[in-house]
Structure formats: C-alpha cells, structure tokens
DNA sequence: AACAAAAATTGACGCAGATCAATTTTCCCA
DNA sequence: TGGGAAAATTGATCTGCGTCAATTTTTGTT
C-alpha cells in the first residue's frame, strides 16, 4: 500500500533537475502543489491504459518503466532513480499511457498535476527549457537505442551497454541480468552465454554477480 | 547548392504546428528572425558531428533523417515533410548531432537560431508547450519503435507499419522499400519476401509499387 | 542458518532472417 | 523517349539467437 500526504516537503522538488535552478521561494511555491507518496516494492505507479493527469518525480528508490506486447512479452524501457520523472506522455498529449511503472525499490514519489504544471510553465519559462532539455536527451537515447537494436548483434549491444556503466575499468550493473536482457531486447540465456564468452576470451572478469572488471577495453569497444 | 534569404515569408512558419496557434502579428514578429533556404535533392541539412545552432523546420519537400554505425550501416530514423522539424538535440543540449539530414525531395527549410528560439520561448510560453507536445509524441514513437524492434518479428513490424499508413483499405508507402527496410531494421530482401508472402496469402494486393490494397485487415492486425 | 523462490547457467535443437548472387523491374533525366 | 542506374525480386545457403529443458547459484526471508 502507498501512503499519501501533501505537506510541503521541499526535498522532493529541490533535488530534481527540472526545478533545482529555481530560487528558494519559487521552490516553496511549487512545493505547495506537490503531492508526495511512498510506495513499496512491487507496487505500480500506473499501468498501460491509464490516463495520467500528473507528472511523477522519483525522489527516492527505483522505478522500472516497462512495456508489454500482446503476447505478454516485456521490454524494459527505463529504470528511474532519484531525480528522474515519468508520465509526460499523458501530460502533454491526450494519449493513454502505454507503459507500466513498477516500484522495484521502496520509493518516494512526488506528483504534480497537469494543471499545476501548466501554470508553472507559464510562470517560469525556464522550467520548460529544462524539461525540453530532458526530452531532447531522452529522445536521443531512445533513437540511439532503436538504432542499436536495428543494426547491432546482441554481443555489441552488451558491449556498448557495459561501456556506459564502466568507471575505473569496472562495470557495475544497476539491474539484474534478467532485466538487462529485457532492456537489450534479448533473453537471459543469451545474456548469460555472451558474458561467459567474454570472460572466456579475457575481455571481462566477474567480481561478483553485478560487478565486472574490464580487462580489455579496446576489444570490448570493437565488438 | 542551396540558396538562402531571410525575407519575411510567413508561409514557412504559419503552417508549422509549433507556431500556427499564434496571432498574425506574433507570427510576423517571428518571421523576421527566420532564415529560409531551398535545398535540392541529395543535399544535406547537416551531418553527424555537426554542432547545430538552429532548429530546422521543413516547409516544403522531404528530408530523410538517418544514422550510421561504424560499419556504415544506415538506419532511417524519420522522414520529415511539411511542418516537421529537426535539430532539437543540439539546440536544447550541448551534444553534437548524431544523425544525418538528407534532402530526398527538393525542399524549402526555415532555420531559427538557438538564441532567437530561446527568447521566443520566454516571450510565448505556449510555444514551449507545443514543442513539448511534439517531443512527448516523438518520445513515445521512438520508444514504441524500440519495443517493436526488441520483441517483434519482421513480419509483425511490417504489418504494424502498413496499418499506420492505411486509409480506406489502401496502404500508400511514403518511402522506397529500401528505406522501409532501413526504417524497420531489416534488409530489402526480407521486405520483399514478406510482401510476397502477404500477397500470396491474400492479405494484401499490390496496386502499384507504392500502393497496396488491404484485403484482410483482421489477419494483418494479428500477424 | 535454513529454506524457498528467483535468477543465472549450460546444453541441444530449430528457425527467422542475414548474406551472397543473379535477374528483372522501375525510375529518372539527358 | 531511350538508356543507364537504382530498386526490387527470387533463390540458395549460413548463422545468430530464441526456445525448451535441466541444473546450479544467488538472494531474500523468517
């Protein structure tokens, strides 16, 4: 069960890229209209088909955005953590939501209604700019992702993904391999095999189930 | 060669969803800052790697937005016609463009510089709303497209695509099958075979090279 | 610590779709 | 309007990856 309250809780909004450039008094203004809820693992923020009237901003925890086709096959679209938002489709168009938002780590989520947001946009045009920045970036990511699916083999997709989450020659996965498979448009079995291949050929080395040492970055890059 | 002029040409802007809700005098205001160019088939508006400082709005003609991977494989991302725009990534973020924009049908294109657009957004917040609407829609399309690639067979992708361009039981392709293959992440050969299959099983019937009669929409929908 | 449930691994097998190659058809534009 | 180039079609072959199935490992819970 999720619990709701609409007290002023500035932290929820202050940490979010869309708003964090505003002055303190403007933030407080916005906070007055924000509804904050906590959700537990397994709960959904929304389902496909819902007509959302609000923007959901994750303040704490993790939320899995996924789609499902007619046969029930899932595709992981995005994994939200603190500062990320969702629900923009129903907010800016009048389409129904096509994705599901499932809490995978106990979360605190702020909601801003469509009407409130629209009036903020008129009042603070810089917010619009921030949102557009976020949109443009996400659009680019989505199109890159599509191109990746369209023209690269699974091995290449994994390699590219690993590189995006590598720091100091160490790749730390933020999700299970099962979710990774779904995100990369393949199966857990194939993910497993490709990881084994890469270990066998000395490109990576398993540290623990979620951490891998990159032994040969050059080779990884040209997969 | 493209020719440029920046005379006031209201038509360029008036027909564009982002601006067409504005009053005539506001339109004229905007028009003053718009640069209009004509391009011939084969010319490029921009290449991957360019740092664009402007939004490109197609007023006439067609523009092919495509990406290319390291091996030179192309993926068609979008086909722009009158009213569509491109260049938003470089405009709202500071990333370099990752796609190519090639004119495939003699085109007239308007350009609005970053600075001008930003000041319009502050002056007319409703423009921002329109752009966000467009972004949200496109984001949804891109994510739908990704999911389509991730979980559906080529036959299904074709079927879904055909349905999007069907009117009165007639599907009219807006691009060559070669481009369609690139758009759907497959090869011309496979496209050809699947179309033949669908004709053989009485689902569609070729009218001319770009037009197909939908004989059995139900079956097409469940492919 | 112990258990159940979820996740991950590995093998065997089959198929959708890519690739290569050879025509045929369509589309321009000179 | 004719000729050359691009696009489309069709066949033959090969392969990456999905599917099914059986364990094994990891994880979270009491």
What b/e readout covers B27-50, taking b as 16+ CB neighbours within 10 angstroms?
A: beebbebbbbbbbeeebebbeeeb
Q: Which of A7-11, A109-113, B113-117, B144-148 has the lowest mean pLDDT?
A: A7-11
Q: Over 80: is that where the pLDDT of A6 sits?
A: no
Q: Which of A106-115, A122-131, A205-214 has the lowest mean pLDDT?
A: A122-131
DSSP single-letter state for residue A42: T
Residue A23 pLDDT grade (very low, low, confident, very high; cuts 50, 70, 90):
confident
Are B169 and B214 in contact by the 8 Å Cβ rule? The answer is: yes
Give, for B170, the enclosing helix (H) or strand (E): strand B170-172
- Mean pLDDT score, A150-164: 93
Distance CA(A62)–CA(A81), nearest Å, equals 5
State phi, psi for B19 to the nearest 5 degrees: -110, -20
Instruction: Please give the pLDDT value at position B8.
Output: 44
Are B14 and B26 in contact by the 8 Å Cβ rule? The answer is: no
Name residue, tokens 């990369």: A184
Distance CA(B183)–CA(B70), nearest Å, equals 18
Tell me, yes or no, whether A121 and A93 share the same domain: yes
Which of B 21-80 have CB under 7 A of nucleic chain D?
none
Are A53 and A96 in contact by the 8 Å Cβ rule? The answer is: no
- For the stretch B175-192, pLDDT in tens is 999 999 999 999 999 999
A49: nearest Cα among A68, A25, A72: A68
Tell me, yes or no, whether A32 and A104 share the same domain: yes
Q: Which residue, of B143, B171, B200, is where some domain finishes?
A: B143
B156-CA/C17-C1' distance, Å: 13
By a Cβ cutoff of 8 Å, what residues of chain B touch chain A? 67, 69, 73, 75, 77, 88-89, 91-93, 95, 98-99, 118, 121-122, 125, 128-129, 131-133, 135-140, 142-147, 149-152, 184-185
Tell me, yes or no, whether A156 and A138 share the same domain: no
DSSP3 helix / strand / coil % (chain A, rounded to 5): 40, 30, 30
Tell me, yes or no, whether A176 and A108 share the same domain: no
Contacts of A209 (CB under 8 A, 6+ apart): none
Q: Which residues of B touch A128 (CB under 8 A)?
A: 121, 125, 128-129, 132
Helix (H, G, I), strand (E, B) or coil at B66: strand
- For the stretch B27-72, pLDDT in tens is 888 888 888 889 988 889 999 999 888 999 998 889 999 999 888 8
- Domain CATH for A29: 2.60.120.10
Q: Which residue, of B116, B143, B170, is where some domain finishes?
A: B143
What tokens were used for A123? Answer: 């009042």
Between the CA atoms of A164, A170, A175 and A176, what dihedral angle is there, to the nearest 10 degrees?
130
Residue B140 Rama label (left phi>0; alpha psi -120 to 50; beta):
alpha
Tell me, yes or no, whether B162 and B204 share the same domain: yes
CA dihedral (A15, A89, A177, A164) positive or negative: negative
Indicate the number of domains in chain A. 2
Nearest CB among A88, A125, A133 relative to B122 is that of A125
Q: Which of A149, A152, A160, A183 to mutate to test the interface with B (most CBs of B within 10 A)?
A: A149
Between the CA atoms of A78, A80, A84 and A87, what dihedral angle is there, to the nearest 10 degrees?
60
Q: Over 50: is that where the pLDDT of B113 sits?
A: yes
Distance CA(A53)–CA(A94), nearest Å, equals 10
What tokens were used for A172? Answer: 């730390």
**Interface contact A136-B185, CB threshold 8 A:** no
Tell me, yes or no, whether A172 and A123 share the same domain: no
- Domain CATH for A187: 1.10.10.10
**Interface contact A88-B139, CB threshold 8 A:** yes
Residue B19 pLDDT grade (very low, low, confident, very high; cuts 50, 70, 90):
confident
Q: Which of A121-125, B150-154, B166-170 has the lowest mean pLDDT?
A: A121-125
Tell me, yes or no, whether B107 and B184 share the same domain: no
Tell me, yes or no, whether A14 and A69 share the same domain: yes
Distance CA(A63)–CA(A61), nearest Å, equals 7
- Mean pLDDT score, A177-204: 94
Tell me, yes or no, whether A118 and A54 share the same domain: yes
Distance CA(B66)–CA(B101), nearest Å, equals 7
Tell me, yes or no, whether B137 and B161 share the same domain: no
Tell me, yes or no, whether A80 and A38 share the same domain: yes
Which of B 156-215 have CB under 7 A of nucleic chain C?
185-187, 189-190, 208-210
Instruction: Please give the pLDDT value at position B11.
Output: 64
- For the stretch A68-123, pLDDT in tens is 988 888 899 999 988 888 998 888 888 899 999 999 888 889 999 999 988 888 88
Q: Over 60: is that where the pLDDT of B9 sits?
A: no
What tokens were used for A36? Answer: 């904050």
Q: What is the residue range of A209's domain?
A: 152-221
Distance CA(A113)–CA(A131), nearest Å, equals 15
Q: Which of B142, B144, B145, B152 to mutate to test the interface with A (most CBs of A within 10 A)?
A: B142
In sequence order, what are the beta bridge partners of B78? B65
Rounded to the nearest integer, the mean pLDDT of chain B is 87
- Mean pLDDT score, B155-159: 95
Q: How far apart are the first and last CA of chain A?
A: 45
Q: Which residue, of B93, B117, B143, is where some domain finishes?
A: B143
Measured from the CB, is A106 under 7 Å from any atom of strand D? no
Residue A11 pLDDT grade (very low, low, confident, very high; cuts 50, 70, 90):
low
Question: Which is higher by pLDDT, B132 or A186?
Answer: A186
Tell me, yes or no, whether B126 and B160 share the same domain: no
């Amino acid at each position: 069960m999720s619990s709701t309250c609409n007290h002023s809780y500035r932290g929820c909004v202050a940490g979010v890229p869309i708003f964090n450039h505003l002055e303190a008094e403007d933030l407080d203004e916005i906070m007055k209209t924000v509804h904050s809820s906590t959700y537990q693992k397994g709960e959904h923020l929304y389902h496909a088909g819902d007509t959302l009237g609000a923007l959901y901003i994750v303040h704490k925890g993790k939320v899995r955005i996924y789609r499902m086709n007619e046969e029930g096959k899932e595709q992981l679209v995005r994994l939200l953590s603190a500062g990320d938002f969702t629900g923009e489709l129903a907010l800016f168009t009048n389409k129904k939501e096509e994705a599901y938002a499932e809490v995978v780590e106990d979360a605190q989520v702020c909601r801003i209604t469509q009407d409130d947001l629209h009036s903020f946009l008129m009042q603070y045009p810089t917010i619009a700019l921030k949102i557009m920045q976020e949109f443009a970036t996400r659009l680019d990511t989505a199109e890159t992702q599509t191109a990746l699916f369209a023209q690269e083999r699974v091995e290449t997709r994994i390699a590219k993904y690993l590189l995006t989450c590598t720091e100091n020659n160490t790749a730390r996965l933020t999700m299970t391999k099962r979710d990774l498979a779904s995100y990369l448009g393949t199966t857990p079995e194939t993910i497993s095999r490709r990881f084994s291949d890469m270990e066998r050929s000395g490109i990576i080395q398993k540290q623990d189930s979620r951490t891998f040492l990159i032994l040969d970055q050059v080779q990884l890059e040209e997969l």
